[in-house]
Amino acid sequence: MVSAEIPIGARTVSPRLTSLIGAAKNTVLLVLERTSYFNNVICAEKSEFFIRPERYKSVLGSRIPER
C-alpha cells in the first residue's frame, strides 16, 4: 500500500453498535473510513472504525511527492 484516504465524520449509529462499545443509545460517534491503495491505484482495503469521541486523539500528516 502506498496511500490512503481517511475521512472522519460524526454520526449516530445503531443501538447494537453503541452497546458493543459501551456508549449510551443515540450517542454521536466519530466514524473513520479508511480506503488504502496500491501503487497502481487499485483499492487494497476498506475499513470503517467507530470511535467514542472522548477516547480519540487525532494525528494528521501529509505526504510530499518525490520529484
Task: For the chain, give every domain's residue range.
Answer: 3-47
40's grid cell:
497502481
Question: Residue 49's pLDDT is what?
Answer: 92
Distance, CA of 2 to chain centre: 17
Chain-wide mean pLDDT for the chain?
A: 90
* Least reliable range by pLDDT among 13-17, 28-32, 36-40, 54-58: 54-58
pLDDT (tens digit per residue) in 20-41 = 988 888 889 999 999 999 999 8
Cα distance between residue 30 and residue 27, in whole Å: 10
Q: For CA atoms 52, 54, 56, 59, give the dihedral sign.
A: positive
**The Cα angle at residue 49 between residues 48 and 54, in degrees rounded to 5:** 155
